[in-house]
Amino acid sequence: MAKIKGFFFDQDGVIIDTERDGHRVAFNRTFKEFGFNVEWDVETYHGLLQIAGGKERMKRYLDEKGFGVKVTPEQEEDLIKRLHKRKTEIFIELIESGSLPLRPGIRRIMHEIMNLGLVLGICTTSNAQVAHAITEKLLAEISFDLVLAGDEVSRKKPDPEIYLLALEKTGLKAKEAICIEDSHNGVTAARGAGLRVVATTNVYTEQEDLSRADIVVTCLGDPDGERGTLKKGSADLRYDGVLTASALTSYFST
């Protein structure tokens, strides 16, 4: 097998458990500010997560259920853009306030990856403003070699475009990189690019089909904090509730 030379991380649900208490809350506050009688509960937002991209989710909801007021086709594109801009501002405020902590093991494993001298990248369908708010605020001490956001590709996950772009920009071969994802769409995208895939589940994705991932855990885990549970992985994997970068590179390189 090829030697592992890099890691690519998804953002939402992997680095931060953002969907339920971050993006969903920001969308609802935005709808309220704009005077729309719309509120996405946990179950509704779960369904919308099957659509990649915030603007795409709002457009689908507007087209199928409406916002409680008449929106003409001519008004739709501009409205969606303005809604998404304000939603992003609110979401970033939530990040900078510390309301959305990192998931267990994220900071630890990123430091391990840096110490091993491996490529470290972010590949997210969120926009660049959100991606950089996380990398430059919450993870300011981490040196990222690559930060790719949804704005930089024409096709979002489950299409593999963003991971193919990451391979092109880093010069890595598919079998030399490990992807950390959390959802069916993300796993499908990473697998479509030929990457090794580790899935970390959360409340929204624990029931999704993640069978195409090589390894599935509930979280990456911390020695002095929350430890994860292994849901898929062979006996060759060194895992005691804490998944390390060295364990993963060894697992996929032999």
How many other CB atoms are there within 10 angstroms of residue 112's CB atom?
A: 18
Residue 119's DSSP bridge partners are 6
**Helices vs. strands in the chain: H and E counts, helices first:** 10, 7
Residue 122 is classified by DSSP as E
Question: Both tokens of residue 147?
Answer: 């930060």
Pairwise CA distance, residues 73 & 230, whole Å = 48
- Annotated catalytic residue 10: yes
- Annotated catalytic residue 12: yes
Pairwise CA distance, residues 217 & 105, whole Å = 12
Choosing from 12, 17, 214, 222, the catalytic residue is 12
Cα–Cα distances in Å, from 96 out to 84, 91, 222? 18, 9, 23
Active site residues: 10, 12
